[in-house]
Chains A and B, each alone.
Chain A
């Protein structure tokens, strides 16, 4: 069966520091991968998606970047965090040949102080 992992679970970082959040998927090959942010207002905003290694699409201009160095690894990064980067970051995957259902990881709560 497939599982998706995110770490760390919680992170407190000072403004201006770098960021690296990791997401890995097990039990599937060549998935589509997604990064979402959920701010305090609850709505989910799609940040990036990837249809393959090295292929990243950005949905909104922002202070963050994403990379996919391996088939089942998706990384969210920043060189200098802003206060507005605080939020709950969710990674999701979808089988390329299956239904369009996305399955979510447990999330990383980021607080920028």
Chain B
């Protein structure tokens, strides 16, 4: 089955690191994604990781994938107020239009 879960809220102080977690259930996922949604806007692709990778780093973003536990995380270093948004993880599967299954989203609030 397809089910992607995230915690609903995360609050951090500016300058700290944020870690947003995601668990998924479909072991056949090929790519896993992190999207960012600012208020009233569409989803912006932040980064993605191929399922045969353990880690991917892109500037302040680090993605960790534990395929055995079906656990994905996004670490944002030196979190800024502009990072306040909803973060969605998503998994894709082959076939059937290559659909994405999204998590419920984590609301990140960055406090001064």
Contacts and interface: CB of A to CB of B under 8 A. Distances in A.
Are A and B part of the same complex? yes
Interface of A: 6, 32, 34, 41-44, 46, 49-51, 57, 59, 90, 92, 94, 99-107, 109
A59 B96 CA distance: 11
Interface stretch (B20-28, B35-43, B52-60, B70-78): B35-43
Interface stretch (B11-19, B61-69, B100-108): B100-108
Contact of B97 (A32, A41, A44, A106): A32
A6 B105 CA distance: 23
Q: Is the interface of A mostly helix, strand, loop or mixed?
A: strand
A57 B42 contact: no
Given A99-B31, A100-B92, A43 B102 contact: yes
B41 A106 contact: yes
A86 to B, nearest CB: 15
Interface of B: 30-31, 33, 35, 40-45, 48, 86, 88, 92, 96-100, 102-105
B102 A44 contact: yes
Contact of B99 (A46, A103, A105, A106): A46
Contacts of A109: 40
A104 B43 contact: yes
Contacts of A49: 97, 99
Q: Which 9 A-B pairs have the closest CB atoms?
A: A104-B43, A49-B97, A104-B42, A100-B92, A44-B102, A106-B42, A107-B42, A42-B105, A100-B98
5 contacts: A46-B100, A49-B97, A100-B100, A104-B35, A104-B45
